[in-house]
């Protein structure tokens, strides 16, 4: 494959992912902007705290998308259509079981979550209201994870793009109607999410039957419940789960630590996290392409195309991260007014905007290597490096620098967390990626 063909294949998968991924933080931005124009900063804080719990839940179940992509892509590379069907069946069954568990344990989840999170009672009361509405989107959310991961593994980036944009645009419309037209507040944001998720799941099922109806005939109970495949499914997904829990813990800790400083810092940091969210979801477009292509070439045992694809994927992903760094360096302070018209919050956020430049550069490296390792299903080293980055870098740096640096220490800990992930995964790639 020529260099031009390699780049064309990367962009074929990455561009739809980028377009769809950018719509995800846009939803968060609209929610933040809607809450930021109400009469108190506690509404931003309430959605932030409530969202932490769902980040822990749903990011924790993110293996349903990532693991499904890697496994499906490798079976696709082997031209094993029966196993592709079986992977979809296994993942959907696990999503169903997981969503039933979440709904059954919702009271306990809320109690533990709000007991651990810091914040004043007014913020927590609103966050609790948000939680008990949005929790009912669980079955739809997990089902969408599976379909999106499976479509990507089948080298189809257009369907996940359509699904993601459809769900998030609907969510934005619902939130605007519920908050601005019907006078709802955090409850309107939560209800908008529930409605959009179920409509998105209905679309995913329809898309599957439209394009992949022949795969229905390949579903075999014996294949789906094959013991060796189930063991591999669980081993890979447990590693991804641990990795994701560490990632969610880091950002949850970051938000909770922001709240511990004061509600103004919480609001300011929540707005700045939208910058990182936008960058990460855009770069993840290339990371998702890495999952698809790396899995495919490993399944086909094509080491030459594997090496070339990884090299060019890194160029594209890190280049996009550098572009975001440049934009934030030039207009980052002005962008704050997009999220809030409260001068006090803007003034609190301005001194920390330059951290967005450094984190965009370091984060893009980490995100790209994550995509490569997921596609290769090389999950044990990815899990281990995330544990080291969280427990051995982020937390020690935070506790050592909080007193002298304050909120700057919190941002420094997050930056070094990203740096550690990118460096360690890059160093291990020769052994765990290119030797397969």
- What is the tens place of the pLDDT at every residue in 150-179? 999 999 989 998 998 898 889 888 888 887
Number of domains comprising the chain: 1
**Residue written as tokens 């645009």?**
169
- Dist CA 191 CA 168 (whole Å): 13
Contact 292, 306 (CB under 8 A): no
End-to-end CA separation in angstroms for the chain: 20
How many angstroms from the chain centroid is the CA of residue 103? 21
Q: Which residues of the chain carry a pLDDT beneath 50?
A: none
- Confidence (pTM): 0.83
pLDDT at 190: 84
Q: Is 229 exposed, middle or buried (0-12, 13-18, 19+ CB in 10 A)?
A: middle
pLDDT at 41: 62
pLDDT at 267: 86
CA angle 323, 359, 353 (to 5 degrees): 85
pLDDT at 211: 93
- Dist CA 117 CA 50 (whole Å): 10
Residue 199 sits in which domain range?
Answer: 3-432
SS percent in the chain: helix, strand, coil, step 5: 90, 0, 10
pLDDT at 436: 63
- Dist CA 350 CA 348 (whole Å): 6
pLDDT at 193: 85
Helix (H, G, I), strand (E, B) or coil at 41: coil
């Amino acid at each position: 494959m020529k260099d031009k063909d390699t780049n064309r294949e990367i962009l074929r998968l990455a561009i739809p992912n980028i377009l769809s991924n950018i719509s995800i933080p846009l939803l968060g931005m609209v929610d933040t902007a809607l809450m930021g124009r109400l009469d108190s900063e506690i509404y931003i804080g309430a959605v932030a705290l409530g969202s932490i719990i769902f980040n822990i839940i749903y990011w924790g179940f993110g293996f349903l998308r990532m693991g499904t992509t890697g496994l499906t892509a490798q079976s696709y590379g082997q031209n094993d259509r029966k196993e592709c069907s079986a992977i979809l069946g296994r993942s959907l069954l696990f999503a169903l079981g997981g969503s039933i568990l979440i709904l059954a344990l919702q009271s306990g989840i809320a109690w533990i979550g709000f007991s651990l999170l810091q914040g004043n009672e007014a913020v927590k009361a609103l966050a609790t209201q948000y939680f008990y509405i949005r929790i009912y989107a669980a079955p739809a959310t997990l089902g969408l994870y599976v379909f999106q991961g499976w479509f990507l593994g089948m080298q189809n980036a257009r369907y996940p793009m359509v699904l993601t944009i459809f769900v998030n645009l609907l969510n934005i419309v619902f939130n605007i109607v519920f908050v601005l037209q019907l006078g709802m507040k955090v409850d309107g944001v939560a209800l908008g999410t529930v409605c959009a998720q179920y409509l998105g799941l209905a679309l995913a099922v329809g898309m599957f039957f439209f394009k992949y109806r022949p795969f229905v005939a390949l579903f075999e109970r014996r294949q789906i419940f094959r013991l060796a495949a189930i063991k591999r499914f669980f081993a890979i997904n447990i590693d991804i789960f641990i990795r994701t829990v560490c990632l969610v813990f880091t950002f949850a800790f970051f938000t909770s630590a922001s709240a511990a400083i004061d509600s103004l810092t919480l609001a300011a940091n929540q707005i700045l996290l939208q910058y990182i969210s936008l960058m990460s979801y855009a770069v993840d477009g290339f990371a998702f392409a890495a999952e698809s292509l790396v899995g495919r070439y490993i399944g086909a045992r094509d080491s030459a195309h594997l090496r070339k694809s990884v090299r060019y994927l890194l160029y594209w992903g890190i280049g996009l991260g550098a572009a975001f760094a440049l934009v934030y360096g030039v207009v980052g302070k002005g962008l704050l007014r997009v999220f809030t018209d409260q001068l006090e919050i803007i003034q609190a956020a301005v001194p920390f905007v330059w951290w967005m430049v450094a984190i965009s550069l370091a984060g893009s490296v980490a995100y790209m290597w994550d995509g490569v390792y997921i596609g290769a299903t090389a999950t044990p080293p990815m899990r281990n490096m995330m544990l080291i980055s969280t427990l051995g870098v982020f937390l020690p740096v935070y506790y050592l620098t909080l007193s002298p640096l304050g909120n700057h220490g919190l941002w420094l800990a997050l930056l070094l967390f990203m740096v550690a992930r990118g460096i360690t995964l890059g160093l291990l790639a020769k052994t765990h990626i290119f030797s397969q």
